[in-house]
């Protein structure tokens, strides 16, 4: 069954909810959820074995008792081994300082469990028989009649078979659940990305401006509409394209800033600096968009006088540095603003780390000169001739 | 002739609203057009229009904060203006105002919707004309309380709003930092970009805004009684209701008298 890899889902952007329960908790929960099936399969199998053996040489009650006791003993051994394995893997993660994680696979313990069940199951089963009948069964070292030996052999093999069947079933369903969760996460992330870019305030305010402009200056309204169309098309395509030239990135930012310029009037000044030598460099599409949006929304919009947004690109050794700078409110004044900013920032960080690993960074700091405001700076190893890794 | 104020930071939208109003309600005079919340407050208090169109998202202070400031500082001898909030996005909090004194418009505003709003405003003004005693302030206050409560609720629900409760106020004077336990604070008062922290012994200035401070205080212990004042409930000895609807508070441990605005007067009533 082709399964989408989880890493593919995470490429889209922000981290989804990470499962924080431990492997032990997860395994216990799954055991509890499947208790009914488990009992039915093992019980049914033991019953079938007892019936078959009774057909051979009679004495159904004895056959049933033995096969049930051995079945229960083997199942218990397998399940205890699974729990022990889950507990061990939790301890192992803990000792490495990793957060608890339920990998949805408590069945790694099934194989050693089955071996243990073959070795210990018969003894434990016979002991159970003794416990129920309150009289000594045939001793383990001297298993009397050959029929008892056959019962034991059948029961053990049957139980192990049941374990293999159930574990395979469960592994498949766990894999399916994992695949579904990954797909859901990918879809959610894509939706969140899209929602953050097609922010309703931005869209409806732009449309409201357009509506007024149509009556006042039809030519300018048309130009504004063209920018809006470019912006929307780029936003909707961004998740489907791996990279586009830096010049295109700057064009899309220009679209957005032109739209904002119509809305904010003289309160917004824009400056875009893209050296010719860097125009063709591939960058992930709309990487800078959230940073430019933050500069407007949290930097300039709350500022009565407005200010300037400068977007610039420069080469720094084997790196490409992209700066988004505003002369607005600056960092840390409004707590609500910081919370809002975080989403855009974490989105950019997530994309950078999926595409470039440790090699790319995003920093946010107060601008160092007298004009004040905030400087967001992205550093990419993109001067490498190889294009960014395919998502 | 009725007059209105338009507070909208996007120039084209302000122009568009003005034009649309001119064609639908030629008798309405636009007394002022402003682009930020603070100017909206000063202009509205100076010009006392009958109607205010307030954009929700504005630089300086939001439309809601503008309405709060107006409700607190509006003179007693003039009728409180009818408020119409304008927003680009259907804020759920505003939907509560379906058919009441305060209306709201969603941008882009289409002419039929604006016509309905105009009709509602004209009806309200006519009612007011026949019964001058009804200023509409009480109703507006109730709505504002709900709105402000609702918007405070959304802030508290956000991750940033789940702020830690503050135990000690750190007030810096030069290189010295005074530590003031919050339970010793009698009241906080906004002063421009600072907050005055008043205790029985002395007062300190801290460089933060009341808006930032508020979520870090226990609302059971510290009551907001004005947009610029938060007082420790245990420090209040008595509250006297004035004719204007405002409430004067006397304090234990301080001779200062505080005023609770009409918006918060409902906090003080006998049990």
Q: Would you tell me which CATH number, out of the four given (3.40.5.50, 3.50.50.60, 3.40.190.10, 3.40.50.2300), belongs to the domain B3-157?
A: 3.40.50.2300
pLDDT band at B130 (very low <50, low <70, confident <90, very high): low
Interface contact flag, A207 B11, Cβ < 8 Å: no
Using CA coordinates, name the residue in chain B closest to A305.
Answer: B59
B89-97 long-range contacts, Cβ below 8 Å, gap at least 24?
B89/A200, B89/A201, B89/A204, B91/B56, B93/B147, B93/B150, B93/B151, B93/B154, B94/B56, B94/B147, B96/B143, B96/B146, B96/B147, B96/B150, B97/B143
Interface contact flag, A339 B35, Cβ < 8 Å: no
Handedness of CA B253, B254, B257, B263 (dihedral sign): negative
Predicted confidence at residue B7, as pLDDT, reads 96
Q: Do domains B3-157 and B168-267 have the same CATH topology?
A: no
Using CA coordinates, name the residue in chain A closest to B111.
Answer: A211
Predicted confidence at residue A137, as pLDDT, reads 61
Per-residue exposure over A126-160, b if at least 16 CB sit within 10 Å of its own CB, e if not: bebbeeeeeeebeeeeeeeeebbebbbebbbebbb
Kindly list the residues from chain B whose CB atom is less than 8 angstroms away from the CB atom of residue A307.
none
Using CA coordinates, name the residue in chain A closest to B18.
Answer: A212
Predicted confidence at residue A12, as pLDDT, reads 34
Residue whose pair of structure tokens reads 């949805």 in the numeric block: A104
State chain B's mean pLDDT as an integer.
84
Q: What is the CA radius of gyration of chain B?
A: 20
Q: What is the pLDDT along chain A (391 residues), one digit of tens a residue?
A: 443 333 333 333 333 334 467 778 888 887 887 788 878 888 888 888 888 888 877 778 877 888 888 888 888 888 888 888 888 888 888 888 777 777 655 566 777 777 888 778 778 887 888 887 777 665 444 455 666 677 777 777 777 777 777 777 777 887 888 888 888 887 777 777 777 777 888 889 999 999 999 999 999 999 999 999 999 998 888 777 888 999 999 999 999 999 999 999 999 999 999 999 999 999 998 899 989 998 998 889 888 888 999 999 999 988 999 999 999 877 765 444 455 557 778 888 888 888 888 889 999 888 887 778 899 999 999 755 444 444 4
Q: Which two tokens stand for residue B23?
A: 């064609």
Q: Which residues pair with A273 in a beta bridge?
A: A312
Residue A235's alpha-carbon distances to A203, A227, A230, A298, B50, in angstroms, are 12, 12, 8, 21, 43
Q: Which two tokens stand for residue A296?
A: 């407007």
Q: Tell me how many residue pairs between chain A and chain B have CB atoms under 8 A apart.
A: 77
Q: Within an 8 Å CB–CB cutoff, is residue A54 touching chain B?
A: no
- Residues contacting B168, CB < 8 A, separation 6+: B179, B180, B181, B182
Task: Tell me what percent of the residues of chain B surpass a pLDDT of 90.
Answer: 38
Instruction: Note whether B70 and B144 are within 8 A (CB).
Output: no
Predicted confidence at residue B88, as pLDDT, reads 84
Give residue limits of the domains in chain B.
Answer: 3-157, 168-267
pLDDT band at B147 (very low <50, low <70, confident <90, very high): confident
State how beta strands A319-326 and A307-316 pair.
antiparallel
**Is 80 exceeded by the pLDDT of residue B161?**
no
Instruction: Note whether B234 and B249 are within 8 A (CB).
Output: no
Kindly list the residues from chain B whose CB atom is less than 8 angstroms away from the CB atom of residue A215.
16, 19
Instruction: Note whether A306 and A267 are within 8 A (CB).
Output: yes
On the question of a cis peptide bond just before residue B108, with omega within 30 degrees of 0, the verdict is yes
Kindly list the residues from chain A whose CB atom is less than 8 angstroms away from the CB atom of residue B106.
204
Q: How far B86 CA lies from chain A's nearest CA (Å)?
A: 11
- Alpha helix positions (H), chain A: 6-11, 23-33, 35-57, 60-95, 110-133, 146-197, 200-216, 218-238, 246-264, 289-294, 335-356
Neighbour tally for A233: CB within 10 Å: 12
Kindly list the residues from chain A whose CB atom is less than 8 angstroms away from the CB atom of residue B159.
339
Q: Would you tell me which CATH number, out of the four given (2.60.40.1120, 2.40.50.1020, 3.40.50.20, 3.40.630.10), belongs to the domain B168-267?
A: 2.40.50.1020
Q: Within an 8 Å CB–CB cutoff, is residue A302 touching chain B?
A: yes
E strand or H helix at B154: helix B137-157
Instruction: Note whether A328 and A373 are within 8 A (CB).
Output: yes
The Cα–Cα gap between B13 and B82 comes to 20
Interface contact flag, B160 A303, Cβ < 8 Å: no
Task: Tell me what percent of the residues of chain B surpass a pLDDT of 70.
Answer: 87
Q: Which tens digit of pLDDT belongs to each residue from A368-377?
A: 877 788 999 9
B55 burial type by CB count under 10 A (0-12 exposed, 13-18 middle, 19+ buried): buried
Kindly list the residues from chain B whose CB atom is less than 8 angstroms away from the CB atom of residue A225.
none
Using CA coordinates, name the residue in chain A closest to B215.
Answer: A335
Residue whose pair of structure tokens reads 């209040």 in the numeric block: B236
Using CA coordinates, name the residue in chain A closest to B12.
Answer: A209
Number of helices followed by number of strands (H, E) in chain B: 7, 15
Interface contact flag, A267 B215, Cβ < 8 Å: no
Predicted confidence at residue B209, as pLDDT, reads 84
Query: How would DSSP label each residue in A281-316?
Result: -EE-TTSSHHHHHHIIIIIITT-TT-EEEEEEEEEE
End-to-end CA distance of chain A: 21
Q: Within an 8 Å CB–CB cutoff, is residue A198 touching chain B?
A: no
Q: Within an 8 Å CB–CB cutoff, is residue A85 touching chain B?
A: no
A339-345 long-range contacts, Cβ below 8 Å, gap at least 24?
A339/B158, A339/B159, A339/B160, A339/B161, A340/A294, A340/A297, A340/A298, A341/A294, A341/A298, A343/A14, A343/A196, A343/A290, A344/A196, A344/A290, A344/A291, A344/A293, A344/A294, A345/A290, A345/A291, A345/A294, A345/A376
End-to-end CA distance of chain B: 45
H, E, C per residue of A102-166: CCCCHHHHHHHHHHHHHHHHHHHHHHHHHHHHCCCCCCCCCCCCHHHHHHHHHHHHHHHHHHHHH
Q: Which domains does chain A have, with CATH numbers?
A: 6-196 (no CATH), 200-380 (3.30.565.10)
Residue in A208, A215, A262 nearest the CB of B88: A208
The Cα–Cα gap between B25 and B16 comes to 14
């Amino acid at each position: 069954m082709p399964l989408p890899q989880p890493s593919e889902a995470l490429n889209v952007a922000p981290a989804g909810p990470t499962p924080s329960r431990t492997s032990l908790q997860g395994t216990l929960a799954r055991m509890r959820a499947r208790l009914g099936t488990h009992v039915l399969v093992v019980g049914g199998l033991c019953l079938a074995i007892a019936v078959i053996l009774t057909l051979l040489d009679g004495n159904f009650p004895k056959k049933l008792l033995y096969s049930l006791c051995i079945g229960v003993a083997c199942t218990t051994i397998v399940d205890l081994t699974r729990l022990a394995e889950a507990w061990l893997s939790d301890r192992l993660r803990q000792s490495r300082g990793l957060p608890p994680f339920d990998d949805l696979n408590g069945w790694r313990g099934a194989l050693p469990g089955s071996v243990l069940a073959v070795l210990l199951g018969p003894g434990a089963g016979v002991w159970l028989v003794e416990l129920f009948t309150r009289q000594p069964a045939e001793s383990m070292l001297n298993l009397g009649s050959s029929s008892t030996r056959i019962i034991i052999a059948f029961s053990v093999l049957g139980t192990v078979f049941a374990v293999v069947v159930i574990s395979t079933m469960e592994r498949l369903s766990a894999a399916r659940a994992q695949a579904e969760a990954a797909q859901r996460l990918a879809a959610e992330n894509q939706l969140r990305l899209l929602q953050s870019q097609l922010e309703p305030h931005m869209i409806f305010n732009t449309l409201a401006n357009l509506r007024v402009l149509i009556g006042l200056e039809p030519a300018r309204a048309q130009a504004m509409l063209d920018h809006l169309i470019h912006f929307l098309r780029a936003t909707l395509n961004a998740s489907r394209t791996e990279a586009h030239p830096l010049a295109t990135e700057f064009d899309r930012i220009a679209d957005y800033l032109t739209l904002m310029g119509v809305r904010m009037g003289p309160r917004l000044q824009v400056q875009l600096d893209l050296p010719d030598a860097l125009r063709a460099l591939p960058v992930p599409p709309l990487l800078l968009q959230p940073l430019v949006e933050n500069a407007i929304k949290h930097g300039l919009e709350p500022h009565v006088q407005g200010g300037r947004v400068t977007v610039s690109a420069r080469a720094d050794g084997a790196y490409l540095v992209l700066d988004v700078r505003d002369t607005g409110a600056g960092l840390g004044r409004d707590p609500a603003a910081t919370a809002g900013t975080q989403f855009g920032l974490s989105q950019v960080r997530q994309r950078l780390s999926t595409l470039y690993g440790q090699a790319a960074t995003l920093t946010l700091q107060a601008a160092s000169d007298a004009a004040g405001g905030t400087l967001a700076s992205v550093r990419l190893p993109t001067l490498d001739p190889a294009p960014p890794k395919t998502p | 002739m009725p007059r209105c104020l338009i507070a909208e930071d996007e120039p084209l939208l302000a122009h568009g609203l003005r034009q649309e109003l001119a064609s639908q309600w030629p008798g309405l005079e636009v007394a002022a057009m402003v682009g930020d919340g603070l100017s909206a407050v000063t202009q509205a208090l100076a010009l006392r229009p009958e109607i205010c169109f307030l954009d929700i998202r504005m630089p300086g202070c939001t439309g809601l904060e503008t309405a709060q400031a107006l409700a607190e500082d509006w003179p007693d001898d003039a009728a409180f203006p009818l408020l119409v909030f304008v927003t680009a996005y259907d804020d759920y909090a505003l939907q509560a105002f379906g058919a009441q004194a305060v209306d709201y418009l969603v941008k882009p505003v289409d002419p039929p919707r604006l016509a309905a709003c105009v009709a509602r405003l004209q009806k309200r003004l006519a009612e007011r004309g026949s019964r001058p005693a009804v200023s509409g302030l009480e109703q507006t206050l109730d709505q504002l309380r709900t709105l402000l409560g609702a918007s405070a609720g959304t802030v508290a629900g956000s991750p940033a709003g789940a702020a830690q409760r503050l135990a000690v106020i750190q007030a810096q004077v030069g290189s010295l930092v005074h530590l003031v336990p919050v339970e010793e604070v009698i009241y906080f008062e906004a002063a421009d970009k600072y907050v005055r922290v008043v205790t029985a012994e002395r007062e300190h200035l801290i460089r933060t805004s009341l808006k930032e401070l508020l979520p870090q205080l226990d609302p059971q212990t510290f009551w907001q009684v004005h947009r610029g004042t938060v007082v420790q409930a245990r420090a209040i000895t008595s509250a006297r209701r004035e004719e204007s609807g405002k409430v004067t508070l006397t304090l234990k441990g301080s001779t200062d008298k505080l005023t609770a605005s009409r918006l918060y007067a409902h906090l003080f009533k006998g049990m």
